[in-house]
Amino acid sequence: MKKLFKKVVICLTAVFSLAAFSACYKPNTSGQSVLTSFYPVYLITQRITNGTEINVQNMARPQTGCLHDYQLTTLDMRLLSSANVLIINGAGMEHSFIEKAVDETNINVIDSSEGLFDESGINEEHEEHFHSDEDGHDHDHEINSHLWMSLDMVSVQAQNICSGLKEIYPQYSDIIDKNTQLFINDINSLKELEKANQTGNDFNVISFNEAFHYLLEENGAQITAEIEIDENSTPTARQMAQMSDSAKELNVKAVFCADDNGRIFAETIGRELNIPVYVLDPLTYTVSSDDYISAMKNNILTISEAKNK
Ligand SMILES: [Zn+2]
């Protein structure tokens, strides 16, 4: 009995020291610690810092998904206080917490969306609007902030992250430049792949995730109905009925969704209208790959399969 008790004590000690270790563990004390706001920014930043001593950590937990209404946790505040720089997606994605993060920790911020939208929030290429009303209050939720799902925009994001990091870590300028160029070369190969999807017949689709907006557009799809849901929300009955009606009217060929809450609704519509359902990866958490390029390649090939069916 005594022996057993002792064993239990040893086990508990092991658990506690591990917990204490994780709680105190700071990955980097030399000022080379970079925090990314969430997964897509993390994937891009990792490629850009590959081979340097810069330690990249992701703030949001892997299962968080997008950050549209995200609230900072105590752990996030601790990470923000110990990191040297925070890299954000921008375009409103981090609007619910970025002010608090900067005010309370004084952290440097690299906004990867810089220059993509003009002051009034209009990106002419993608016809996205960012309104201000009369009292000057910005409605940043009106922008589709899933920029990394556009090959054009992700190249700009990579360049912004590159120049931001070079300013803070000039000792790695050459390697950061080289990595960014390699990443953009890979993006350009994906653009070649997209070209095949941009020609041919009309390709009307419906999408159950606003994250796919830019990707579907860049691949020649006309989105006839789009439900703005994310990992944590579900469509209303009214939205479902509207989708179904527009799909019937407009000869919709495919339904796209993520492997999340929306999938079951997408499959319902698919069955009702006898249209195939395809799952795309929004890259907001590890789904098909932990590499940006291969995950996007899978997405483009899936759209191609849907289009040529
Ligand atoms: Zn989202």
* Residue 244: CATH number of its domain: 3.40.50.1980
Q: What local confidence, expressed as pLDDT, does residue 11 receive? A: 38
CB 293 within 8 A of CB 186: yes
DSSP-derived secondary structure for 147-172:
GGGSHHHHHHHHHHHHHHHHHH-GGG
65 Cα to the center of ligand 1, angstroms? 7
In a domain, 10, yes or no: no
Averaged pLDDT for residues 160-179: 98
| Last residue within a domain, chosen from 193, 228, 253 | 193
Instruction: Phi first, then psi: give them for residue 85, nearest 5 degrees.
Output: -150, 145
| For residue 202, pLDDT beyond 70 | yes
Q: What percent of the chain has pLDDT over 70?
A: 80
Structural domain of 97: 28-193
Alpha-carbon distance of 166 to 80, in angstroms, equals 20
Distance 1 CA to ligand 1 centre (A): 55
User: Is it the case that residue 36 has pLDDT exceeding 60?
Assistant: yes
- 27 C-alpha to center of ligand 1: Å? 29
Mean pLDDT in residue range 61-65? 84
Query: What is the pLDDT, as a whole number, of residue 118?
Result: 74
CA of 183 to the centre of ligand 1 (A): 23
The distance from CA 9 to its chain's CA centroid, rounded to whole angstroms, is 44
Higher model confidence: residue 246 or residue 120?
A: 246
Q: Which residues are found with C-beta within 5 Å of the ion, ligand 1? A: 66, 211, 230
Residue 14 banded pLDDT, cuts 50, 70, 90: very low
* Average of per-residue pLDDT values in the chain: 84
> What pLDDT score does 29 carry?
41
End-to-end CA gap in the chain: 69
Cα of 157 to ligand 1 centre, how many Å? 17
- Residue 51 to residue 119: CA distance in whole angstroms: 36
Residue 105 clears pLDDT 50, i.e. is over it? yes
Q: Is the CB of residue 146 less than 8 Å from the CB of residue 214?
A: yes
Residues 109 and 172 reside in one and the same domain = yes
Provide the number of structural domains found in the chain: 2
Residues composing the chain: 309
- Together in a domain, 36 and 135: yes
Do 145 and 274 sit in the same domain of this protein? no
Distance (angstroms) between ligand 1 centre and the Cα of 262 equals: 13
Residues 157, 94 share a domain: yes
Average pLDDT over residues 192-198: 95
Judgement on whether residues 179 and 56 belong to the same structural domain of the protein: yes
Q: What average pLDDT does this structure show over 207-236?
A: 86
What distance separates the 2 farthest-apart alpha carbons in the chain?
78
Q: Is residue 20 part of a domain?
A: no
Q: Which of 7-11, 85-89, 230-234 has the highest mean pLDDT?
A: 85-89
- Residue 247 Cα to chain centre, angstroms: 28
Q: Which residue do the tokens 């990394």 mark?
A: 148
Question: Do the Cβ atoms of 232 and 70 come closer than 8 Å?
Answer: no
Classify residue 120 as left (phi > 0), alpha (psi -120 to 50) or beta: alpha
The reported pLDDT for the residue numbered 243 is 84
